[in-house]
Structures are given as structure tokens and as C-alpha cells.
């Protein structure tokens, strides 16, 4: 060993690095979807929001030179998408799952349309903190070069977990998600709560997109997202609508997604594309293992149409 | 779908004669979905016009080009019909389960695997068999794998309680990974360099065009599939049972209907149609199975099915309309210097407008014969 070759240790290290690097968008998008679903509505359109957020963040960062302004722009755009979704779903007989698919198509289309001029220029990247400075191995240094958004995501998960249990807003959100009637009995308007929850969910999903375009992989193109936004729905089910569960599930998915590239880096190239499918297979298996035809999922908001 | 007009008690009104009334009632009920869908499309186009105008382009020119590129000449009509063929089949993949109350959105997976299975089974046989049996085998293979893929979502839904929307979507991603693995590995034609694909079908094994036209046979297959689906849903016992289950799953179960078998059967049939769309793409358009199979037909099919309100016959005109929009994309791109995603934005806008319009059903008195006799009663029911 000459200080740079770490042999097979590269696999777990790459998975760890992948878990940290790939999971950040999952953390934001799943926390956002968790908030929306906790209010009793499902938003399947987060894939579109995420990609549009990536485009908006990149475009803003290119034009202003500030990546943080890019993140803010993405949040604003994401909240806008959430408000549209929430507004439309307020009307009777409108299917929120189908509206989500439509919003996804709309968001993707709009992002590709408006993002065409931003494929070439380079945007300033979001900063990261080199936690691996103690090591002489460049692989470890690279693996522990942790982006600020990852840390914010972890803090956010803990904060949401606390807020859901201990604050008035958390209570209001849970009541709306469990029963529209109970919310009305408390003098609350479930439609307004869901509208706001969908907007917050959209804003968070867009931050996940901003991470994609401004840090990893760190460029804007039409293939920037590989279904992270859609996976959020499955992640939230897996996480049982629990913020800390969302965090753990995101790390697990990030690790699973990094499996293919990690194995490839040590020379295992057969089945490369199948490893791409690992997170989806994982989700499906978990959903099959944990679902039941007779009882609703534990922890699920009762007013959520997905689990009825 | 609509109630039997004759079952209503005939309240005499001064305005219409008694013999004419059933006809008018029938017309009113049939006119509602057409009028509301039309309104939704007009509103969607209006919103899209504002967007285009805000970018400093002329919406009028865009719609003109869209008409020209989709329906303006015999050439463009033929192009439109060819593009509508896969949409007819992927829309059925959404519409059939929807009659049972299921939202299946993973048609893309069945398309991809159907195309791959078609190519995989045809290539070794082209030296021994004549085209017709090869096509039949291709069709059967693609329908089997597509049916298996979507049927699995239905099976998991009924017997494991797994949400079919998510399951079908996950299966679609798994299918695309599976195809990429196979066309990169065991099925790859070494001659395909940058764009991995299977070996091409020999020319005489390509599903040709209909006589005197530049439209491939896939269009006819799609139309036939829509008609078959219509007959199954409207005229057979299974279709009737499915509609009951779609209205109220629990009531259907109490009635003793075989809900599980209905769900698995309808999702399998739906997937078989989407698989067939993949086979047609391979045998009539691409000539080999490659990454172009995942071109989004599965997702546009969702839009077509919702626009057609899950009615197999209504799918035909809607698929042609969207095929036309799709066909005009290139022309819009060239003439107006707009990105190719313009069509995607338009589709998204239309989709949202159409889903939004669901809320309008039953709100207009003119479409609801039950309210005709009492002009001063409150607004529409529900």
C-alpha cells in the first residue's frame, strides 16, 4: 500500500461517501413529502419540483454569483409549485395523486424549457466542510468532504421530529392529517393547512434539487434527477411518516444508490445497471414486507388517500 | 357510466314533448364529458398562450404550426397517426385499471420490457420462420411480459395491500434498469457503438405500413385494442363487475364478486397492451430494442387516459390529438426557435386543466336531466 490505494476497503468507504453525498436530496425531498402527507395530502409531483428547483437554483447562481441565492430561488419556486398543487386539490372530486403526476410533467417541462440556456455556463458551488482533513488518504478526505446542506438536513430532521410532537403547529398538522372533521371541530380549515403544508413540502423538495445542481453532481442538465422526487413517496411510507425515519431511510437509499459505482471502482462491472435499480428494488421489497391487505399502515395519517 | 335514461320518472314539462325527452336526456348526459373536456382543453391552451406570449412569442403562430405539423397535410396526418399508435395502447394500460379504481402509472416499464422481449424472441427465429409467425410470437412475448409487469402491481395491491401507483412506478424503473443491463450485456449488438441496442430486425421482418399509406400497422392494432377494451368493459359480465368494483370496492366484495381476480385480470390485460406498444415500437419504428423505448409513451398515456375519462373509445380521438401535438414538436422547434420541451409544458398544462375540470361534473344544470323539471332548485348534486 502506498498511501493512495486502499484496495477493497474502497467499497464500504465509497458506500459511506455515497450515503452522505447521494442522500442529501433524499433527505430534503422526503422531509418535504412527510410534512405534506402528515397534513393528509399526497404530492406525487415532487420530481418536477425537484428538477425545477435544480434549474432555478443553477440559473440564479449563474446570474447572481451566489449559490445561496440560488437555494432561496429554488425554495420560492418550490413553494409556488406546492401552492398550485394545494390550490387545485382543494376543489371537490379532484384526484390529488393524478394532479401530482400532472404537476410533475409540468415541472419537468418548464424546467427543461427555461433551463435550456443554463446547460453551458458554470455556477458557483455550495460550500462544503472538509471533515476528512485528518486523514492522509485522499479517498477518505473526499468521502468526508461534507456539504453544508447535508448538515442542515440532519438538523432539520431532528427539529421537525421535535416540532411535530411538541408545538402547536405540529399538533395542527397532525390533526388535519388524521381527520378533516376533527380539524374543523377545532376551528381550523383543513384545506388551508394542507395548502401551506404542500407549499412547505415543495420548498424543501426544491432545496434537494438545488443540492443536485449546485453541489453533486454539480451541473444542470435534463438528466439531473434520477427519480429522487418520485422515490420520496416510497421513502416516506418506509419511514412511517416519521422525520427521523426519513433521515435514516435517505441514508440507506443513498448507500444503496452508491453500491453500483462503488463496486465499479474496484473492478466489478458486471450487473452495473442492475445496481442502479437497487434503491427501487429495496423500496418495493420493503413495501411488500410491511404492507397488509387488511389493516392500514401503522403511523399513517388517517386522512391520506394513499393508505385508505 | 351514465344512468339509464329510461329509468327516470318522466315529469311532464311544458317545453318538450314527451317523445323527445328521452333523446334530450340521453344527449345531455353524453354531452357533459365532451363539453367539459373541450372547455378544459380550451382553458389549458389559454394558459399556455399566456406563457408563450410572456416569452415574447406569438401563441397564434404556435397553434398554427401545431395544426400544420399535426394535421395540416396528408403527410403530417400520417405522421400523427403513427405517433398515436403507442399512445392508444399505453392509455389503455391506465384506463382499464382505472375502471376498477386503481391508478397505475407504470406503463413505461411494460413498454420497455415488451419491446425487449419482442426483439429477444424474434432475433433467433428470423432465419428459420417467415415474418407472420415471428410477429405473432413477438406480440405474445411482449404481451406476456407486459401483463406480468403490470399484473404484478395489481396482485400486490389486492393480496398485499401495496399501493399500486407506487408499485407500478418502482417496477417501471426496475424495468428500465433491466433493459439497460440486457442491451449492454447479453443482448447487445457489437455493431451498436454509442447507442447500445439489440441486433436490428431484418427488413422483411419489420411491421410495414398499411397499403397506400405511410402509417404502420401498429395504429390498427391500437384501434382494435381500444374496441376490444370497450366491448369488455361495456358488454361483458367481467366488465360490469369491474365497474361495480370501481364504484365501490367494498360493496363489490360484499356482493361476492371475485374482486381479486378482477384486479389481477384487468391489470394483466392492461399491461399486455402496454407491452404490445413496446413490440410495435421495435417492429415498426426502431427496428431494434434500445434506450429509445423509454421515450415517455407510458407517461403521455396517463394524460390520454385521463383526458378520455378512461373510456376506451374516447381514447382514440384523444390519442390522435396528442400524437398530433407530438408530431408538430419538431416544426415548432425549427420555426419558432423554442426548446423541444415546449410540447412537454403544453402537455403538463393540458393535463392539469383536465384534472381540474373533474370538479365541474354535475355542476351544470343543463347536463343533468334530473334537475330540468325543477328550475328553481339548488345547484347540482354532490
Q: Which residues lie across from A145 on neighbouring strands?
A: A130
| CA gap A210, A70 in Å, rounded | 7
Full residue range of the structural domain in which residue B155 is found: 88-323
| CA gap B375, B368 in Å, rounded | 11
Question: Does residue B8 fall inside a structural domain?
Answer: no
ipTM of the prediction: 0.87
Q: At residue A148, does pLDDT exceed 50?
A: yes
Question: Does residue A220 fall inside a structural domain?
Answer: yes
Question: Does residue B358 fall inside a structural domain?
Answer: no
Nearest to B41 by CA among B358, B360, B350: B350
pLDDT of residue B378: 47
Q: Taking a C-beta distance cutoff of 8 angstroms, is the pair B106, B150 a contact?
A: yes
Q: Chain-wide mean pLDDT for chain A?
A: 88
Q: At residue B225, does pLDDT exceed 70?
A: yes
3-state secondary structure of A146: strand
| CA gap A170, B155 in Å, rounded | 37
Nearest to B101 by CA among B211, B266, B227: B266
Q: Count structural domains, chain B.
A: 1
| CA gap B155, A183 in Å, rounded | 36
pLDDT of residue A26: 94
Q: Any idea which of A170-179, A234-243, B366-375 has the lowest mean pLDDT?
A: B366-375
Q: Taking a C-beta distance cutoff of 8 angstroms, is the pair B289, B122 a contact?
A: no
Test mutation, A43, A273, A283, A298, chain B, max B CBs within 10 A: A273
Q: Taking a C-beta distance cutoff of 8 angstroms, is the pair B292, B53 a contact?
A: no
Question: Does residue A173 fall inside a structural domain?
Answer: yes
Mean pLDDT value of segment A116-142: 83
Q: Count structural domains, chain A.
A: 1
* 8 Å CB contact of A101 and B299: yes
Q: Any idea which of A267-271, B73-77, B352-356 has the lowest mean pLDDT?
A: A267-271
pLDDT of residue B377: 47
Task: Give DSSP secondary structure letters for A230-245.
Answer: HHHHHHHHHTTT-HHH
Question: Does residue A276 fall inside a structural domain?
Answer: no
pLDDT in tens, B151-186: 999 999 999 988 898 899 899 999 999 999 999 888
Full residue range of the structural domain in which residue A164 is found: 27-225
Nearest to B41 by CA among B325, B362, B368: B325
> H or E element: which one contains A130?
strand A128-130
Question: Does residue A82 fall inside a structural domain?
Answer: yes
pTM across the whole model: 0.87
Question: Does residue B130 fall inside a structural domain?
Answer: yes
The verdict on B169 touching A (C-beta cutoff 8 Å) is: yes
pLDDT of residue A5: 62
Question: Does residue B353 fall inside a structural domain?
Answer: no
Question: Does residue A148 fall inside a structural domain?
Answer: yes
Question: Does residue B77 fall inside a structural domain?
Answer: no
Place of cell 334530473: B370
Question: Does residue A164 fall inside a structural domain?
Answer: yes
Q: Which residues lie across from A130 on neighbouring strands?
A: A145
B108 to chain A, minimum CA–CA distance in Å?
14
pLDDT of residue A143: 76
B299 to chain A, minimum CA–CA distance in Å?
8
Question: Does residue A128 fall inside a structural domain?
Answer: yes
Omega cis (within 30) before B72: no
Task: Give DSSP secondary structure letters for B228-273.
Answer: HHHHHHHHSHHHHHHHHHHH-HHHHHHTT--HHHHHHHHHHHHHHH
Output Rg (C-alpha) for chain A, integer angstroms: 20
* Residues of chain A neighbouring B351 (CB-CB closer than 8 A): 101-102, 105-106
pLDDT of residue B66: 92
Name, in order, each residue with C-beta under 8 angstroms of A149's C-beta and a sequence gap of 6 or more.
A24, A28, A71, A126, A207, A210, A211, A215
Quick one: pLDDT band at residue A280, thresholds 50, 70, 90? confident
3-state secondary structure of A172: helix
Question: Does residue B64 fall inside a structural domain?
Answer: no
Test mutation, B345, B362, B364, B382, chain A, max A CBs within 10 A: B345
Nearest CA in chain B to A96: B355
pLDDT of residue A150: 94
Cα distances (Å, whole numbers) of residue B252 to A35, B155, B169, B263: 34, 17, 27, 12
| CA gap B151, B235 in Å, rounded | 23
* 8 Å CB contact of B341 and A113: yes
Q: Which residues lie across from B197 on neighbouring strands?
A: B290
pLDDT in tens, A11-37: 788 788 888 888 999 999 999 999 999
Quick one: pLDDT band at residue B371, thresholds 50, 70, 90? confident
Mean pLDDT value of segment A63-70: 94
* 8 Å CB contact of A280 and B352: no
Q: Chain-wide mean pLDDT for chain B?
A: 89
pLDDT of residue B2: 46
Check residue B256 and give left, alpha or beta (phi > 0: left; psi -120 to 50: alpha).
Answer: left
Amino acid at each position: 500500500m502506498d498511501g493512495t490505494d486502499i484496495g477493497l476497503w474502497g467499497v464500504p468507504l465509497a458506500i459511506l461517501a455515497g450515503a452522505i453525498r447521494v442522500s442529501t436530496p433524499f433527505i430534503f425531498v422526503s422531509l418535504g413529502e412527510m410534512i405534506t402527507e402528515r397534513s393528509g395530502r399526497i404530492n406525487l409531483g415532487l420530481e418536477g419540483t425537484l428538477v425545477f428547483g435544480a434549474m432555478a437554483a443553477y440559473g440564479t447562481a449563474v446570474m447572481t454569483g451566489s449559490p445561496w441565492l440560488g437555494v432561496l430561488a429554488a425554495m420560492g419556486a418550490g413553494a409556488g409549485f406546492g401552492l398550485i398543487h394545494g390550490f387545485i386539490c382543494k376543489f371537490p372530486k379532484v384526484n390529488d395523486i393524478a394532479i401530482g403526476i400532472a404537476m410533475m410533467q409540468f415541472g419537468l417541462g418548464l424546467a427543461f424549457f427555461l433551463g435550456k440556456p443554463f446547460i453551458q455556463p458554470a455556477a458557483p458551488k455550495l460550500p462544503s466542510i472538509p471533515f476528512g482533513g485528518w486523514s492522509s488518504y485522499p479517498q477518505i478526505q473526499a468521502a468526508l468532504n461534507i456539504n453544508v446542506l447535508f448538515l442542515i438536513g440532519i438538523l432539520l430532521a431532528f427539529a421537525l421530529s421535535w416540532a411535530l410532537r411538541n408545538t402547536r403547529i405540529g399538533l395542527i398538522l397532525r390533526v388535519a392529517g388524521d381527520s378533516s372533521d376533527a380539524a374543523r371541530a377545532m376551528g381550523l380549515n383543513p384545506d388551508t393547512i394542507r395548502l401551506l403544508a404542500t407549499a412547505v413540502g415543495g420548498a424543501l423538495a426544491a432545496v434537494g434539487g438545488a443540492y443536485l445542481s449546485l453541489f453533486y453532481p454539480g451541473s444542470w442538465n435534463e438528466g439531473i434527477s434520477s427519480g429522487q422526487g418520485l422515490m420520496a413517496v416510497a421513502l416516506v411510507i418506509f419511514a412511517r411518516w416519521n422525520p427521523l425515519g426519513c433521515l435514516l431511510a435517505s441514508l440507506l437509499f443513498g448507500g444503496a444508490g452508491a453500491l453500483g459505482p462503488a463496486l465499479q471502482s474496484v473492478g466489478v462491472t458486471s450487473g452495473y445497471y442492475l445496481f442502479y435499480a437497487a434503491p427501487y428494488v429495496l423500496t418495493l421489497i420493503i413495501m411488500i414486507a410491511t404492507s397488509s391487505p387488511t389493516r392500514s399502515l401503522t403511523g399513517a395519517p388517517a386522512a391520506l388517500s394513499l393508505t385508505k | 357510466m351514465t344512468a339509464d335514461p329510461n329509468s327516470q320518472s318522466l315529469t311532464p314539462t311544458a317545453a318538450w314533448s314527451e317523445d323527445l325527452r328521452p333523446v334530450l336526456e340521453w344527449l345531455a348526459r353524453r354531452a357533459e364529458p365532451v363539453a367539459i373536456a373541450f372547455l378544459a382543453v380550451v382553458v389549458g391552451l389559454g394558459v399556455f398562450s399566456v406563457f408563450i406570449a410572456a416569452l415574447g412569442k406569438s401563441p397564434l403562430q404556435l397553434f398554427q404550426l401545431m395544426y400544420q405539423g399535426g394535421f395540416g397535410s396528408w403527410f403530417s396526418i400520417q405522421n400523427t397517426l403513427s405517433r398515436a399508435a403507442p399512445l392508444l395502447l399505453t392509455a389503455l394500460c391506465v384506463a382499464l385499471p382505472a375502471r376498477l379504481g386503481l391508478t397505475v402509472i407504470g406503463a413505461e416499464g411494460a413498454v420497455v420490457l415488451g419491446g425487449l422481449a419482442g426483439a429477444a424472441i424474434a432475433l433467433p427465429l428470423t432465419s428459420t420462420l417467415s415474418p407472420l409467425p415471428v410477429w405473432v410470437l413477438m406480440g405474445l412475448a411482449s404481451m406476456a411480459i407486459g401483463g406480468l409487469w403490470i399484473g404484478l402491481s395489481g396482485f400486490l395491491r389486492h393480496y398485499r395491500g401495496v399501493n399500486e401507483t407506487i408499485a407500478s412506478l418502482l417496477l417501471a424503473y426496475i424495468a428500465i434498469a433491466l433493459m439497460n443491463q440486457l442491451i449492454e450485456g447479453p443482448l447487445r449488438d457489437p455493431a451498436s457503438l454509442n447507442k447500445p441496442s439489440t441486433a436490428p430486425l431484418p427488413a422483411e421482418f419489420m411491421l410495414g405500413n398499411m397499403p397506400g399509406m405511410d402509417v404502420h400497422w401498429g395504429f390498427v392494432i391500437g384501434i382494435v385494442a381500444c374496441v376490444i377494451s370497450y366491448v369488455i368493459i361495456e358488454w361483458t359480465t367481467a366488465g360490469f363487475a369491474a365497474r361495480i368494483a370501481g364504484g365501490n370496492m367494498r360493496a363489490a366484495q360484499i356482493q361476492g364478486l371475485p374482486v381479486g381476480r378482477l384486479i389481477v385480470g384487468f391489470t394483466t390485460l392492461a399491461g399486455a397492451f402496454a407491452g404490445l406498444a413496446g413490440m410495435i415500437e421495435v417492429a415498426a419504428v426502431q427496428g431494434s430494442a434500445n434506450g429509445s423505448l423509454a421515450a415517455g409513451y407510458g407517461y403521455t398515456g396517463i394524460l390520454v387516459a385521463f383526458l378520455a375519462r378512461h373510456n376506451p373509445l374516447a381514447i382514440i380521438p384523444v390519442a390522435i390529438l396528442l400524437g398530433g401535438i407530438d408530431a408538430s414538436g419538431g416544426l415548432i422547434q425549427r420555426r419558432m426557435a423554442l426548446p423541444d420541451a415546449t410540447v412537454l409544458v403544453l402537455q403538463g398544462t393540458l393535463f392539469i386543466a383536465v384534472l381540474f375540470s373533474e370538479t365541474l361534473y354535475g355542476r351544470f344544470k343543463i347536463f343533468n336531466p334530473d334537475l330540468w323539471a325543477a328550475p328553481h332548485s339548488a345547484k347540482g348534486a354532490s
